[in-house]
Amino acid sequence: MARYFLEVSYDGSLFGGFQIQANQQTIQGEIEKALETIFRVPLALTGASRTDAGVHGLQNFFHFDTDLQIESKHIYNMNALLPKSIVVKNIYAVPADAHARFDAIKRAYLYKIHTQKNPFLEGRSWFYPFAVNMELMQEATKSLLTYTHFETFSKKSTQVNTFECHITKAFWEMTEEGYTFHIESNRFLRGMIRGLVGTLLQVGRGQISLEKWHEIVLSNNEQLADFSTPAHGLYLSLIDYPPFLKKIV
């Protein structure tokens, strides 16, 4: 039996999340329906990284196993069946033990904020019309590279064995519309990016000091973090794998 990776991209606005769940339209559910329509048999997908309801994915992956002949034409076939807000970008043939979730070596997210009301960004960026001190926010953000324990920024309704994350990049970028938060790590915790963004904005608005910021990070108390940032500004932007992910069907 052969294993394949599906590379997908999606607008999460209309979906109840990435992973299949009862009574919800999800990214996984729509793709599994398309696969079953094409191949006449159910094919179970395993996702690389779950995103919550409303979160977007510039790049995400599934893997699945099958003895069926998978060809490049099936990319077109799937996209013809999928909603306009989901696209299959590539199919990769991979080793039989390759795992979409556990073999990922790096993940990246970005969070978009616009500062002027713009109907064309609604649902794809957070309208945040408040003045912030970008220099203070950048300084606090830079400190994330010196920490590895992020229990403060993990929602408690999750089951993980460790709160350790190794962040390799984190910064704010000024854009034409406002600013964007970028972050890369080997892994992330549930709610982590939205908690970081919300709390960093408190630094930028002078609601908490840099000293208080460090206290919050070290507190391991999620009640001190601000998770109120909406889902629609968040994008999973990259998942990186070892070189085995090379062969496109």
Q: What CATH number does the domain containing 144 carry?
A: 3.30.70.660
Are 98 and 113 part of one and the same domain? no
Residue reference for tokens 């062969």: 247
Q: Are residues 139 and 24 part of one domain?
A: no
Residue 224 reports pLDDT greater than 60: yes
- Res 249: pLDDT: 53
Nearest to 204 by CA among 232, 226, 176: 226
6, 79: one domain: yes
- Provide the pLDDT confidence category of residue 248 given band limits of 50, 70 and 90: low
Query: Does residue 248 lie within any of the structural domains?
Result: no
Q: Which residues pair with 6 in a beta bridge?
A: 62, 91
Least Cα distance to 199 among 219, 235, 228 occurs for 228
Q: Which domain holds residue 32?
A: 2-103
pLDDT at 243: 81
Tokens of 108: 């990246």
Task: Please provide residue 12's backbone torsions phi and psi, each rounded to the nearest 5 degrees.
Answer: -85, 5
Instruction: Work out the average pLDDT over 135-163.
Output: 92
Inter-CA distances, 52 with 1, 132, 208, 242, Å? 31, 27, 28, 26
Instruction: Give yes or no: residues 182 and 142 share one domain.
Output: yes
Active site residue 67: no
Question: Poorest-confidence range of 46-55, 70-79, 92-101, 143-152?
Answer: 46-55
* pLDDT computed for residue 227 by the predictor: 95
pLDDT (mean) for 151-167: 87
- What mean pLDDT comes out for the span 145-157? 92
Average pLDDT over residues 243-247: 66
Q: Quick one: 36 and 136 in the same domain?
A: no
**Of 58, 88, 103, which closes a domain?**
103
For residue 149, the 8-state DSSP code is: B
**Which CATH number belongs to the domain containing residue 66 in this structure?**
3.30.70.580
Pick the last residue of a domain from 77, 103, 129: 103
What confidence score (pLDDT) does residue 20 get?
78
Q: Find the DSSP H helices in 116-225.
A: 134-142, 192-204, 210-219
Tell me whether residue 174 is in a domain: yes
Q: How many domains does the chain have?
A: 2
- What's the mean pLDDT in 187-191? 93
The answer, yes or no, to whether residue 223 has pLDDT greater than 80, is yes
Residue 145: what pLDDT? 97
Exactly one of 11, 52, 97, 240 is catalytic; name it: 52
Half-sphere exposure (Cβ direction) of 240: Cα atoms closer than 13 Å: 9
Instruction: Note whether 127 and 118 are within 8 A (CB).
Output: yes
pTM across the whole model: 0.92
pLDDT class of 247 with cuts at 50, 70, 90: low
Last residue of a domain, one of 56, 88, 103: 103
Per the domain annotation, does 242 fall within a domain?
Answer: no
Mean pLDDT for 28-45 is 94
